Amino acid sequence: PQMLVLHGPNLNLLGEREPGIYGHTTLSEINASLEDAADRAGITVECLQSNQESALVDRIQTARSDGTRFILINPAAYTHTSVAIRDALAAVAIPFIEVHLSNPHAREAFRRQSYFSDLAHGVICGFGAQSYTLAFEAALAHLHTS
């Protein structure tokens, strides 16, 4: 795919998981709206959710040779812990946007630390499901100018 969308742990529960923080939109709805936007833009997108760090690392490594030109990633809890996913993104050197539904800066102190932000093309957080569509638009603009 030209665009790869990765969702980290517990995001499979979106819609029922702490809706006051993460909203009522499900992951299937988020993926469907990204797939629609990709169709309209004439690009290919693949969405993957995993609760496993290793699956996310493996998929990022594969992106090196499958035509992926941009990655949107919500690392979820791995945002605050995963040197391995950070290193995978650095290794493949594909530009990425870090996405969060909530605004981690307005929550517990441990959520302020991200292993991704300094490597990211940009960070979009705090807009609920709309964070993904905003990130998609930014990624598209980047693809059209690179």
Stretch that binds ligand DQA, among 50-58, 83-91, 101-109, 133-141 (CB under 6 A): 101-109
End-to-end alpha carbon distance in the chain: 17
Active-site annotation holder among 22, 78, 115, 132: 22
- The answer to the question of residue 79 lying near ligand DQA (CB under 6 A) is yes
24 carries an active-site annotation: no
Contacts of 34 (CB under 8 A, 6+ apart): 5, 45, 47, 72, 132, 133, 136
- The answer to the question of residue 111 lying near ligand DQA (CB under 6 A) is yes
Contacts of 16 (CB under 8 A, 6+ apart): none
Near ligand DQA by CB under 6 A: residue from 101, 129, 139, 140: 101
115 carries an active-site annotation: no
Q: Residue ranges for the binding site? A: 74, 80, 87, 101-102, 111
